[in-house]
Structures are given as C-alpha cells and as structure tokens.
Amino acid sequence: MQQAKISTVVVCLAVAVLLGTTVDALLNLGDTFKGEILVDDEDIVEFEGLAGEKVTISMKADKKQSLLPELAITDPDDDEIASEASGKKKTTIKKLELPATGVYQIHMTGAEATIGTYTTKTKGKLSKANKSFKNDSGVGPEETQDTSFDAKSGYLLNGTINGLKKSDAVPFNPTISGPEEGDPVELTGFITKNKKGNFKIKDLVLPELGTYTLSVENSGLSGIIKTSLKLKAPKMKKQTIVEESEF
C-alpha cells in the first residue's frame, strides 16, 4: 500500500514541475500541513478525492503571526471550485462535495499581503455511494456483467459474486480492469470460489486512483448474477507534514 502511495506522490510532483507549479505535498485527507506564507507566496498541496466525497479544509495562522489565511480548491481539471477568505486568523471551506474523482489542489495564500506561519487541517467523509456497490442485472448466455466503481490508491476491495438459486446464470471468470488503460488487476490470492460456484473477494489492494470495472462472464443460461462490493480505506496514521523549503 505504501508503494502505491509513494508512486502517486512522485507522479503528482513530476507533473507539477512540468507544468511550472510547485506542489509542496500530497496529503491523505485527515493529515495536517504546516507551512509559511511569504510576500507574494502561494503554497499548494494535493489530495486524492472521490466524486461525492465531502471535504473540510481549515487554515489557521499560528500565534503572533499577521497572516490572514485565504483558501482555494481546484479540481482535477484545474478549475477553482471553492474559495474562502474570512479576514480573520482562521479560514475554513466546510463540507465541500467533490464533483469528480481525481487529484485536487489546495491553494493557500495570505490576504492583504499578510505573511506568517500557519497550520492547515484536512478532513474527508465518504458517502454511502462511495463505499458499497451492488449489481443484480440480468445477463444472457455468454454475456458479461460489468460493475464500475471509483477508488483511491491503496483502498481495499471486498465483495461477493453469486448466482441466485432461481437463476440459470452461472458466474464465471471474474476480472477487474484498472484506471490505467484498462490494465488488469491481479486477483490471485484475493479471490476464492466455493462449491456452489460463487466467488468471494477479500482485501484486494487497489493500486491507483480512478475508475475500476469488475467483469463477470455468464457460463450458463439467461438469468441474474448478484455482485456486491464494498470499499474500505486502509488503516493509516494521520500525519503532520512540514513544508521542507521553509523550515
């Protein structure tokens, strides 16, 4: 899981350099970032977000600082979707619902040319639609049932794939394609099949941010295949990340 996250950091920072933008860190929502705003300065951090996830970002000037924090959030297309400037020592963007799955940026500056050190806290809350996915659609002979879902890098996938008792459909050969050009996700060791021909997925680590598709072939006659999936975030300690260039 750590390897996937480190790879994401490298990619994001490399892209930022190419675009001429300095990204100070990639955060997990729940992390804290400590930095310093200088004259005509802007600090930028990034985080992975899922469509429908609600995020709260607060930026607070440290004690004895003149800084009046200003916040802005840009979406994966680099469009600004929220901004806040309270004119006080603390500014908050509260419960912003993210419009799409991708990498977002938090832009931090000082109003009225104010400067100083600060602490920014982040928090995210997934909706029910981000956590569970069900598909009980009918499939014909030799047809495939597809179930798509979004996930962050390092998230764990659990689920079941069942042929119903009164259904003539028989689930066969489940596969998962990933966000990167549909590359297959390795299921060996994470999926089992029972005597009834049903499948169980347990703690499959998803390697990157984006949209995945679980495909199940039908080796029987027409009927219903019931696919139920659940996502959960990996257990990760909340971190306090300090801006290296200023401290």
Start-end of CATH 2.60.120.380 domains in the chain: 2-125, 131-232
Residue indicated by tokens 């940026």: 105
CATH of 131-232, one of 2.60.40.10, 2.70.98.10, 3.30.70.20, 2.60.120.380: 2.60.120.380
Cα angle for residues 99, 78, 97 (degrees, 5° grid): 20
Residue range 2-125 forms a domain whose CATH class is mainly beta
Among the listed residues 175, 176, 166, 172, the one whose alpha carbon sits nearest the alpha carbon of residue 224? 166
For the CA atoms of the chain, what is the radius of gyration?
A: 22
**Residue 92 near residue 57 (C-beta atoms within 8 A):** yes
Q: What is the DSSP letter of 2?
A: H
Please state, in angstroms and rounded to a whole number, the distance separating the CA atoms of residues 34 and 120: 6
SS3 sequence of 123-167: EEECCHHHHEEEECCEECCCCEEEEEEEECCCCEEEEEEEECCCC
**Residue 133 near residue 212 (C-beta atoms within 8 A):** no
Q: Could you list the pLDDT tens digit for every one of the 247 residues in the chain? A: 333 333 333 334 433 433 346 888 999 999 999 999 999 999 999 999 999 999 999 999 999 999 999 999 999 999 999 999 999 999 999 999 999 999 999 999 999 999 999 999 999 999 999 999 999 999 999 999 999 999 999 999 999 999 988 899 999 999 999 998 888 999 999 999 998 899 999 999 999 999 999 999 999 999 999 999 999 999 889 999 998 754 4
Record the pTM. Answer: 0.87
